[in-house]
Amino acid sequence: MGTAALHVRGQVLAGPEEVLDEIWVIDGRISLSPPASAAAEVETVQGWVLPGLVDAHCHVGLESRGAVEPARAEEHALAERDAGALLLRDAGSPLDTRWVQDRDDLPRLIRAGRHIARTKRYLRNYAHEIEPEELVAYVRQEARNGDGWVKLVGDWIDRDTGDLGTCWPVNVLTEAITAAHEEGARVTAHCFGEQSLRDFAAAGTDCIEHATGLQDDTIETFAARQIAIVPTLVNIANFPDFAAAGEAKFPGYAAHMRDLHARRYDTIGKALEAGIPVYAGTDAGGQLPHGLVAREVVELSRAGMSPRQAIGAATWQARAWLGRPGIEEGASADVVVYRDDPREDLRTLATPHRVVLRGRVQPHSGARG
């Protein structure tokens, strides 16, 4: 006979200031009251409890050479689950991963469809590579293919200038983002440099990935318009390597990337002080393995977030931003239990004691993403 209920006791961190003594999991959903039947079989788990973590920027089904086989994509998803990331916003993948959403043992997945990039201005085999006159049509297509998000590539190496260059004229970009909104989708974009941030803000974007080129003027604009950013600091750590790889052909690009890297914490710190919404995402897939969300939370603390803020960027605030519930009556029981208090040491997030997804305690798969 299977377990009818799960009793989770200890410190249930339901919000930045909301701490419960216990919750119950009945038929896969959270209850703030015990089961009505005293005869119900109950399993008890004890510790510090958080809503399932959010990796707001990852790429299930994508590695350095492009799309992978579904079996490998499954390993990506399992690595995220084992790390406690139970809600993923997939920020672009050439692999159709709708099937992940049908699996009860895999994290909940919000897909952005496939990247949309300028011809020969992004990594090979990743994106639809198009010209500006095609942008609106492709944005509408991917808005319909995804789960409420479209992912654009905003800047990349311009071989003529030898530095980061913007990919889209602002007037076309504005029309494309308007089209996405008409389709009921939000738009986010890969942006490293300064000018692409100005262009996307002017065009009405909803979010920016990386955002290393934020300056005083764009920080003010992003704060006023509440344009979210997902810095992916664990990926920005690789900028010196990107610079070294391009040094011989593009010394200006290399110097620019090193500068963006050197001021990364200061840039994100200023964004936080200005009130820009900041969420945790790793950029796993492509160049990085999956399961790094705890490292990203630690990085956000180095940029100036308090422990509670950094945890919120990967739990309460991130879930609300993505329109998904946390720990509340009737919500799906997607929670992570820790032996120690993650507010005291954020590194605790790297070692979940129990992962509960859709009300079931999950085994550790041993998957490596």
According to the model, what pLDDT value does residue 187 have?
98
The candidate with the shortest Cα–Cα distance to 342, out of 293, 319, 308, is 308
The per-residue pLDDT for range 85-102, each reduced to its tens digit, is 999 999 999 999 999 999
d(CA 144, CA 124): 24
The per-residue pLDDT for range 193-248, each reduced to its tens digit, is 999 999 999 999 999 999 999 999 999 999 999 999 999 999 999 999 999 999 99
According to the model, what pLDDT value does residue 40 have?
64
Hey, what are 334's tokens? 């997607």
| Exposed / middle / buried, residue 168 (Cβ in 10 Å: 0-12, 13-18, 19+) | buried
Task: Supply the mean pLDDT for the chain.
Answer: 95
319: number of Cβ within 10 Å: 24
User: Is the domain covering 53-321 a CATH 3.40.50.150 domain?
Assistant: no
Over range 103-128, report the average pLDDT.
96
Under 8 Å between Cβ of 62 and 100:
no
The per-residue pLDDT for range 117-153, each reduced to its tens digit, is 999 999 999 999 999 999 999 999 999 999 999 999 9
CATH topology agreement for domains 5-50+325-361 and 53-321: no
Cα 132 to Cα 127, 141, 151, 167, 345: the distances in Å are 14, 15, 15, 8, 47
Fold of 5-50+325-361: Urease, subunit C; domain 1 (2.30.40)
Domain ranges of the chain: 5-50+325-361, 53-321
The per-residue pLDDT for range 328-366, each reduced to its tens digit, is 999 999 999 999 999 999 999 999 999 999 999 999 877
According to the model, what pLDDT value does residue 36 have?
81
With cut-offs at 50, 70 and 90, classify the pLDDT of residue 1.
very low
The per-residue pLDDT for range 151-208, each reduced to its tens digit, is 999 999 999 999 999 999 999 999 999 999 999 999 999 999 999 999 999 999 999 9
Neighbouring residues of 332: CB distance < 8 A, sequence distance ≥ 6: 28, 29, 30, 325, 358, 359
| Exposed / middle / buried, residue 102 (Cβ in 10 Å: 0-12, 13-18, 19+) | exposed
227: number of Cβ within 10 Å: 21
Q: What secondary structure does DSSP assign to 227-279, as a single string? A: -EEE--HHHHTTHHHHHHHHTTT-HHHHHHHHHHHHTHHHHHHHHHHHT--B-
